[in-house]
Amino acid sequence: MKRSIAATVLIICFVGCAPRARLTFPYRRLIATTQPQSFDCDGDGRNDFAVTFDHSGRLDAVAYDDNQDGKFDRVYRLADYANEDVPHLILLLDSIPFQIATDRYAAGEFRWFDPPTKIIAPFPSLTEICYGQLLAGAPMPGMVAQYYDARKRRLHDGLWDRGVMDKLYPWEQYLDYRSGSKEEGLTYLDPRKWYQAELERARRAFDESPNRTTIVYLTSASGMACKYGREGIDEVLEGAARLCLQLLYERHGAIKISMMADHGHNLVTSKNIDVGELLRRAGFNVATYIQQPSDVVLEAYGLVTYAAVRTTDPKRVAAALLTGEGVDLACCLDGDHVAVFDQRGFATIDARGPEQLRYRTSTSDVLMLEPVVAALRARGRLDADGFATRDDWFAATVDHEYPDAPARLWDAFHRLVINPPEVMFTTRDGYTAGLPSFERFITMKSTHGSLNQLNTATFLMTMTGRAKAPLRTRDVIKTIAPQYTIPTIRGAR
């Protein structure tokens, strides 16, 4: 605990230290049109650059009026550049719901991209888990930075590792740019300044990259969504559009850009639940390690709609959690099943081999999947024992309230991390289950983490023409950059 306090103090001491670098492109929102839209890039009051559109409203070329006489002197068509012939920037944002990206594209923005593709994040829908899956890195040690290591019988202090020791997660070490982990807390305190600076940092990282594919992550996009809600998310997308336009301008269109986020966001101001008090009322001893049957250890970090409990009595803990205001679902292993509980009862998920899953209602259709099960059966996609393939579950539930839930919950207990918790639970939108100390620094106008569509579904937009249907996060890179290979760890710049 003392080290966590020290890390917090260190973060506070650095308030106001946001870097000052900024993009220079004279951005304004594009509108739905087939007419050229012009910009004054040299700042002399006369337009010297334009983007043009085809009959469908897609951006098809960049054009330069070198002598500023109102006529284009040079025109470069985006379709003239093959994917294999130009550099590819993959821009990783944070906390953008799919529908917001879709609505802005429909309004005429981002038209150098193909239309948005829905991306379904893993569960829990947390950045580290999502982008760890994206880049196929080594498994995370735990679901959150403050995880319990049962072998060492101690709660790992991720705040110290990140805020003081500047340690990176495995997936972060594959990036060409992300902010330092010491800077991460600062981006939540003053996200607007940091986001503008990170856009320019990302541009520079792309210019300096020796790689055909360059991947950058903008940490401060998360703070923008959490601190300012929908307004912050809109500003993130506007900044990303400005970066794309500057790169198209600087490189004469000879570039491919792909842009995505890690998960959705619920766009609701949230109240934090005192999970420790909830468990104490049920007779548990909230501790830092497990020694007695009544001992439990909380795994909570940030102010999100997911948290976990380490325990030797998972069913009883799940039942205790569900008595609390704001708790939505709780899940745990029950033999070789994953049991998912709500206030009415439970359902189970089973696996047979790596590719087949089954959902069965026991006393409650917790995930509201019985209609999906009936539809899969009617289409002949369930076998005699009730199992369907992962691909069939994904296709049938991509727009469901709990998208791809059987696979995501099964993987959360079996595949994602080295130290999976015994009980995972989610809160209803409007509630969080995180560290109370974080509330001193931010009021969450929007958050994420849970299993539902709003927290989960995000977007991919790409210039490659390769994303044709909804995707799981883990399938994005091999879809848009099939020649990309995970590099030898080199550390983030």
Is there a domain that residue 183 lies in?
yes
Asked, for residue 194, whether it belongs to a domain, the answer is yes
If asked whether residues 90 and 177 sit together in one domain, one would say yes
Residues 314 and 227 in one domain: no
Is 60 part of any domain?
no
In a domain, 65, yes or no: no
Distances (CA, A) of 51 to 40, 240, 270: 12, 17, 41
Burial of 116-141, coded b for 16+ CB within 10 Å and e otherwise, reads bbbbbbbbbbbbbbbbbbbbebeebe
**Structure confidence at residue 19 (pLDDT):** 84
Q: Three-state SS for 313?
A: coil
Q: Are residues 473 and 420 in the same domain?
A: no
Does residue 209 lie in a domain region? yes
138 and 213 in a common domain: yes
Question: In terms of domains, do 205 and 297 share one?
Answer: no
Specify whether 395 is located in the same domain as 466: no
367's CB contacts (< 8 A; 6+ apart) are 340, 347, 359, 402, 405, 406
CA 162, 122, 265 angle in degrees (round to 5)?
75
Query: Looking at the DSSP assignment, which residues form a beta bridge with residue 126?
Result: none
Based on the fold, state whether residues 329 and 358 are members of the same structural domain. Answer: yes
Which residue matches tokens 């500023």? 68
Q: How far apart are CA 307 and CA 458, in angstroms?
A: 21
Question: In terms of domains, do 425 and 374 share one?
Answer: yes
Determine the structural domain holding residue 16 and report its residue range: 2-30+81-265+452-480
Distance in angstroms (rounded) separating the CA atoms of residues 181 and 172: 10
143 with 179, same domain: the answer is yes
* 327 shares a domain with 201: no
pLDDT in tens, the chain (493 residues): 333 333 444 444 444 567 888 999 999 999 999 999 999 999 999 999 999 999 999 999 999 999 999 999 999 999 999 999 999 999 999 999 999 999 999 999 999 999 999 999 999 999 999 999 999 878 899 999 889 999 999 998 877 777 677 788 889 999 999 998 788 888 999 999 999 999 999 999 999 999 999 999 999 999 999 999 999 999 999 999 999 999 999 999 999 999 999 999 999 999 999 999 999 999 999 999 999 999 999 999 889 999 999 999 999 999 999 999 999 999 999 999 999 999 999 999 999 999 999 999 999 999 999 999 999 999 999 999 999 999 999 999 999 999 999 999 999 999 999 999 999 999 999 999 988 877 788 889 999 999 999 999 999 999 999 999 999 999 999 999 999 987 766 544 4
Residues 89 and 205 in one domain: yes
Report the distance separating Cα 75 and Cα 373, nearest Å: 54
Number of domains in the chain: 2
In a domain, 75, yes or no: no
Alpha helices in 284-431, H assignment, sequence order? 314-321, 370-378, 390-397, 405-414
Q: Are residues 307 and 361 in the same domain?
A: yes
CA dist list (Å): 400 to 191, 343, 364, 447: 32, 21, 17, 20
Q: How far apart, in whole angstroms, are the C-alpha atoms of residue 322 and residue 460? A: 35
Query: Is 67 within the bounds of a domain?
Result: no
- What's the CATH code of the domain at 149? 3.40.720
Q: Is residue 292 part of a domain?
A: yes
